[in-house]
Amino acid sequence: MRNYIVILSIGMFMFSSCKKEEKISEVPAIEFISISPKSSVEFQNQVVIRICYVDGDGDLGSTDPDVYSVFVKDKRLPAADEYHLQPLTPPDQSLQIQGELDIVLTGLFVIDTANNSESTNFTVEIKDRAGNTSNSIETSNITIRKAS
């Protein structure tokens, strides 16, 4: 009987010490890392927004180039620009993923022609193939200057 209690105690200890893998939400989540450069000449420089992402089923991106899943809104404009994202995992697999993503913006310009420069920031969201939209993140400010 005593051996049974010891074995049962060891088994309960081992069972309680096993840690279940934490389940990541199937709704994508993003965080702002950086935006660079902090100052850009209109129509000349690329601006890169770096975000980190996590997704519980890995269904970010699409093989169809006409499907847009990254949305970047310049605070000076009424609507977001849409970008295609290649699949980050094979389309037929469900994998927990996390990583960093660079979003490259081109063709930024000064909207108010009376100004030589403007400051702006961007709001970013991503949408997965199931239609789940991530949280919305906001970048720090950058300055866009007119070309000389």
For residue 70, being part of any structural domain is answered with yes
Residue type, 44: Q
For residue 75, being part of any structural domain is answered with yes
- In CATH, what number is assigned to the domain containing residue 96? 2.60.40
**Cα–Cα distance measured from residue 127 to residue 135, given in angstroms and rounded to the nearest whole number:** 10
List the domain range (segments joined by +) for residue 43: 22-145
For residue 11, being part of any structural domain is answered with no
For residue 10, being part of any structural domain is answered with no
14 SS3 class:
helix
1 SS3 class:
coil
Tens digits of pLDDT across the chain (148 residues): 444 343 433 434 444 444 445 778 899 999 999 999 999 999 999 999 999 999 999 999 999 999 999 999 999 999 999 999 999 888 788 889 999 999 999 999 999 989 999 999 999 999 999 999 999 999 999 999 998 7
* CA 59 from centroid of its chain's CA atoms: 13
Predicted TM-score of the model (pTM): 0.82
**Cα–Cα distance measured from residue 104 to residue 112, given in angstroms and rounded to the nearest whole number:** 23
Whether residue 134 contacts residue 126, with contact meaning beta carbons closer than 8 Å, is answered with yes
Q: How many domains does the chain have?
A: 1
